Amino acid sequence: MRVRIEVIEVVEAERGEEPDAHAEAVRSLYQWLVSDPGVGSAVDELSLASGNSAAAPDEETDLMGSTALDAVVAVLNGAAPLAQLALTAATWRLSHPRRPQVRLERDGTTVLLYSTDPEEIRQLVEALSATNPEPHPLAHRTGDHATPSSPE
């Protein structure tokens, strides 16, 4: 399964301080995920994405370069690696004082990541892993965003 992880909220004050704050947040998330041994052993491939394409960090998108980065793309197999990836991304989010929002998308199903609570991570994984036609309460299709009732 291929999961796209986006940092979707960069506070306006951060944009004023650094013109490329969004790309820097994406780089930071990528570095956080790469440095986590649990993600490294769980995920088959991890790359940065510009637009709708993914590239290895040393190819089209340079970690220190000025290419507009939109997301981190992970290729993984199963719910357990997805849970590890979501938990690590949630921990990254909590490590930032302004806690940027993180959105995960798989095959048109999108959820927002709000916490490291195991039950919420389980629900997120269930929503992204669903193959049945009934939508999960946390998941929204094609461009909508999940809005859990109790964000942090």
- Domain edges within the chain: 2-141
Q: What does the pLDDT look like over 119-131, one tens digit per residue?
A: 998 898 988 887 6
- Could you identify the residue written with the tokens 């039950």? 119
Its pTM stands at: 0.73
Rounded CA gap, 152 and 130, in Å?
25
With beta carbons less than 8 A apart as the criterion, state whether 50 and 68 touch.
yes
22 vs 16, 26, 37, 83, CA distance in Å? 11, 6, 25, 24
Q: What does the pLDDT look like over 3-60, one tens digit per residue?
A: 999 998 654 444 455 557 888 889 999 999 999 998 988 899 999 998 655 444 444 4
Rounded CA gap, 61 and 50, in Å?
7
Rounded CA gap, 48 and 123, in Å?
26
